[in-house]
A and B are shown apart, each in its own frame.
Chain A
Amino acid sequence: MATEHTDVDSVTGTATTGHEWDGIRELNTPLPRWWLWTLYLTIVWAMGYWVVYPAWPLVTSFTSGALGWSSRTAVVSELNDLKSLRAPMNTKLAATALGDIKTDQALADFTYAQGRASFRENCGPCHGAGGGGAKGYPNLNDNDWLWGGSLEQIQHTIEFGIRSGHQKARESQMPAFGKDGMLKRDEIDNVASFVRSIANLPTRSGANLAAGKTIYADNCAVCHGSDGKGNKEFGAPNLTDGIWLFGSEEAAIVEIVANSRNGVMPAWTGRLDPVTIKALTYYVHSLGGGEK
């Protein structure tokens, strides 16, 4: 065996390892000494991590490391750094009236960015990352507002929510006309057809629009207005525009009139700080539908 190991390759003059595969022999060209020592050093260095950082799992805990470092405290301290970095602008934002934010370009850009980040985190789950909404969740990009689209009105909605249980929440109740026996099925059908007609939508053939109009005047006009343009005091939707929270099909309207719909939005005061709510207000207002 030993003789095989001393085999020297005739072309290169290099000794081989003695390993041979299908007539191909492996040359023995070891690594330089410094390279190997560097490798050993890195291994020793790596062991230093066991001592300094959290490393080994124990039965109920882990070795916490000499530095006491943890990813959780690192995040907290970085968040605190971020907070103190933003503190001057946040102080300025807190002291600026909602309507005046726009006059300060730097502050406006800051507020917009803060609002966008906060919106994605807190509002996005229902309203969508871009505020595009979904069935039952209003699109905040359009110019149709249930409770008003001025800065102050948006702020109020965000702060106290809609039917959130908060004292100052936006409150109103669409009655369940069918379920509670106030209207019969054919009356509901007729009023639904009438609502489609004032929105310039085609109506079902055979619908009694005159009857529907009377039913509307008696039951709906109180909140939605005699012209159907809605009332932001009660969060009563405008029934004449092209925007429908739950759909404009007759079946969808019938469903609402019969069983009612009362969406809920949580109150954010107490959950978000006032500056964040201010930034959210500004952001939502700037999505495209903001009113004066």
Chain B
Amino acid sequence: MPRSVTDPSRAARQDAECGLFALARSAEVQPAELKPVPAAPPLDPSVDEWDDAPLYEARRKIYPQRVSGTYRRIKWAVLLVTLGIYYLTPFLRWDRGPNAPDQAVLIDLSNSRFYFFFIEIWPQEIYYLTGLLIIAAMTLFLMNALAGRIWCGYLCPQTVWTDLFQAIERLTEGDRREHMRREQGGWTAERVARLGAKHFLWLMVAWWTGGAWVLYFADAPTLVYDLATLRAPFIAYLWIGILTFTTYVLAGHMREQVCLYMCPWPRIQAALTDEHALNVTYRLDRGEPRASVKKSAALLAKGLPAGDCVDCLQCVHVCPTGVDIRQGPNLGCIQCGLCIDACDAVMAKIGRPARLIAYDTDLNIHRREQGLAPEYRFARMRTLLYVAIIAAVGGVMTFALVTRTAQSISVLHDRNPVFVRLSDGAIRNAYTVRIANKRSERREFTLSITGLAGSLLDVVQTREDGRFVVEVGPDQTREVRVLVTDYAELPPPSTPINFHLYDVKSGERAAAGDYFRAPAGG
């Protein structure tokens, strides 16, 4: 069916150019120096009604070509490190003494605990997660303000796994041309074998990915043994199945579609970038007008301008998302830098300087066009602000973590009744007190109050041996009912009081404030 647009990168570019700088740039630069966007082919005249056109955008298959160079090496290294962390972390051990798991990183859902090396997080401390999310978002913004989509190009799981799956694809079905040729050659036995090998390897990687996932939720060595002997809980197999499926589909089949259609970050990134951010950029000031090696030599001989770009399309062929970086900032571009490697290789062969495509800023393109020296400004208001926010949140979290106590007390005043008048006229308030013991051993605490002279404390549900001792089990909380009775003649309607918790053995303490209420006017 005739469709005018089949190039996702073009659709993507519209989005990216919503940014002010991009608009300005497209207005200034595009008509003269960018290759004009080819007009869409006219619709089939036999189709009268637009409604007859397909409702969907057909996918353009991408065959990313193998490439080598600086950024490829960085990507391999990052892939090894990140996948290594992911697959091996569950097997790291961390001794926490008795009554606690010895797995370094463990999300213990059934006991509502999260263990991360020396850190143990309880559900009520989930604000650490909020802090982590703020830091993660700000780090993402900071990366973007400094050097574009570093996250997308190198660190995003979608990129890492897709990279691995594409490597497997090249291994089994061959590099770009070989792969395309085989696909056109029809169903030969060899192709079937190669396809089978590819999907088998993909599924193995996907399966191991799912397998590693569940190990974060239970003792890894035990679970591996149970999984192998078919004694693991059904939920473990289910999650392995789910993650095998998602990995296989997302990294094997969806690939750049995830970045183009499913991920929100490209849209946000386009709105957050500015003229000082290093983005993977085609230096059109150097590259245009494009001409083959021979043609450019001829042009230069005639004294006509000729750029460094020889239009070899290597940058497009190696691109994992199939974009043409020479079209400018691009939503489909994950800025992995593979086109830089590809272009550098070509430039080296034809004896021209490297980095026709490079991490560069929008500003510098303009400056070079005007004959000015490039200028880099990393310390800008926004980067400093991001760093400040990261430092502030990180500081607060570190402070909270360092001052985290092994016990805590929280007090909840009875709401109905707020106070009780006893038969002798005294006023009593009741509180629900929750004591948390964050140690992995059973501890005994005593309770006392300050702020209300002449008052009497009573802890319901405890042993009565002269003092109120509340036992709390290892890594547990306990709720007790506490009664405070005031014998003052006319207590004020509201008196601030403090509850104090002491560890009987170690003397460690915690405190919480509340109020003692009495009827207005005695």
Q: Tell me whether A15 and B40 are in contact in the complex, defined as CB-CB below 8 angstroms, given that A32-B257, A142-B422 are known contacts.
A: yes
Q: Which residues of B contact A105 (CB under 8 A)?
A: 461, 471
| Contact mask for chain A residues 99-118; partner B; CB cutoff 8 A; 1 contact, 0 none | 00010010011001000000
Name the one of A5, A131, A144 contacting B422, with C-beta atoms under 8 angstroms. Answer: A144
> Within the complex, what minimum Cβ distance (angstroms) separates B8 from chain A?
8
A30 and B422 within 8 A (CB): no
A17 contacts B50, C-beta separation under 8 Å: yes
Q: Give B55's nearest chain A residue, CB to CB.
A: A30
A160-168, A174-182, A235-243: which one contacts chain B? A235-243
**Stretch of B10-18, B175-183, B184-192, B354-362 on the interface side:** B10-18
Stretch from B281-289, B334-342, B478-486 forming part of the interface with A: B478-486
Q: Report yes or no: A130 in contact with B414, Cβ–Cβ below 8 A.
A: yes
The prevalent SS among residues of B at the interface is loop
B 43-81 binary contact with A (CB < 8 Å = 1; else 0): 101001110001111110000000000000000000000
Contact with A along B247-278 (1 / 0, CB 8 A): 00000001001000100000000000000000
Q: Which residues of A contact B82 (CB under 8 A)?
A: none
Kindly state the separation between the CA atoms of A112 and B460 in the bound complex, as whole angstroms: 10
Query: Contact at B479–A33, with CB atoms within 8 Å?
Result: no
Complex Cα spacing A209 to B460, Å: 43
**The residue from A28, A34, A128, A243 contacting B5, defined by CB atoms under 8 A apart:** A28
Number of B residues, CB within 8 Å of A: 46
Q: Which of the 9-residue segments A6-14, A87-95, A251-259, A262-270 touches chain B?
A: A6-14
Most buried by A among B40, B424, B481: B40
Q: Residue B97 at the A interface, CB < 8 A?
A: no
Contact between B471 and A288, CB atoms less than 8 A apart: no
Q: Is the interface of A mostly helix, strand, loop or mixed?
A: loop
Known A14-B4, A139-B420, A143-B423; judge A109-B56 contact (CB<8 A). no
Query: Does A288 lie within 8 Å of B4, measured CB to CB?
Result: no
Considering the chains assembled together, what is the distance between the CA atoms of A177 and B421 in angstroms? Answer: 30
Asked if A12 and B56 sit within 8 Å, CB to CB, the answer is no
Residue of A nearest to B37 (CB): A13
Partner of B56, one of A18, A36, A129, A141: A36
Contacts A11-B26, A12-B13; A109 near B461 (Cβ below 8 A): yes
Q: How far is the CB of A38 from chain B (nearest CB, A)?
A: 11
A12 touches B425 (CB 8 A): no
Q: Nearest residue in B to A132 (C-beta to C-beta)?
A: B417
- In this assembly, does A46 line the interface, its C-beta being within 8 Å of a C-beta of chain B? no
B38 at the interface (CB under 8 A from A): yes
B135 CB-CB contact with A under 8 Å: no
Q: Is the CB of A242 within 8 A of B422?
A: yes
- Within the complex, which residue of B13, B422, B461 is in contact with A108, where a contact is CB–CB below 8 Å? B461
Would you call B461 and A286 a contact (CB within 8 A)? yes
Complex alpha-carbon distance, A5 and B424, angstroms: 91
B242 to chain A, nearest CB (A): 16
Judge if A133 is at the interface, Cβ distance under 8 Å. yes
Minimum CB–CB distance for A213 against chain B, Å? 22
Q: Tell whether B416 is near chain A: CB-to-CB under 8 Å.
A: yes
With a cutoff of 8 Å between Cβ atoms, the chain B residues found around residue A241 in the complex are: 423-425
**Chain B residues, CB < 8 A from A34:** 59, 254, 257
With known contacts A8-B4, A31-B55, A143–B430 Cβ distance under 8 A: no
Q: Are A288 and B5 touching (Cβ within 8 A)?
A: no
Q: Does B326 contact A (CB under 8 A)?
A: no
Chain A hits for B14, CB < 8 A: 12, 14, 27, 29
CA distance A238 to B43 in the complex (A): 98
Interchain nearest-CB distance for A62 vs B (Å) = 31
A8-B39, A130-B414 as given contacts; A286 in contact with B261, CB under 8 Å:
no
Interface residue? B317 (CB, 8 A): no
- The answer to whether A5 touches B59, judged by C-beta atoms less than 8 angstroms apart, is no
B261: min CB distance to chain A, Å: 6
Q: Are B481 and A286 in contact (CB under 8 A)?
A: yes
Measured between beta carbons, the chain A residues less than 8 angstroms from B461 are 102, 105, 108-109, 112, 286
B404 at interface (Cβ–Cβ under 8 A)? no
B428, CB-defined interface residue at 8 Å? yes
Bound: A142/B424 CA distance, A: 10
- Report chain B residues within 8 Å CB of A12: 10-11, 13-14, 37
The 6 closest A-B pairs by CB, nearest first: A132-B417, A241-B423, A130-B416, A15-B4, A13-B37, A33-B56
23 contacts between A and B (CB under 8 A): A2-B45, A5-B43, A5-B50, A12-B13, A14-B11, A15-B5, A29-B11, A29-B14, A30-B55, A31-B56, A32-B56, A33-B57, A33-B58, A105-B471, A108-B461, A109-B478, A128-B416, A130-B416, A132-B416, A144-B423, A242-B422, A242-B423, A288-B458
- In the complex, besides A31-B55, A143-B422, A288-B458, 19 extra interface pairs with C-beta distance below 8 angstroms are A2-B50, A12-B11, A12-B37, A14-B4, A30-B57, A32-B59, A33-B59, A34-B59, A34-B254, A105-B471, A109-B461, A130-B415, A130-B416, A131-B416, A141-B414, A238-B423, A242-B424, A243-B422, A243-B423
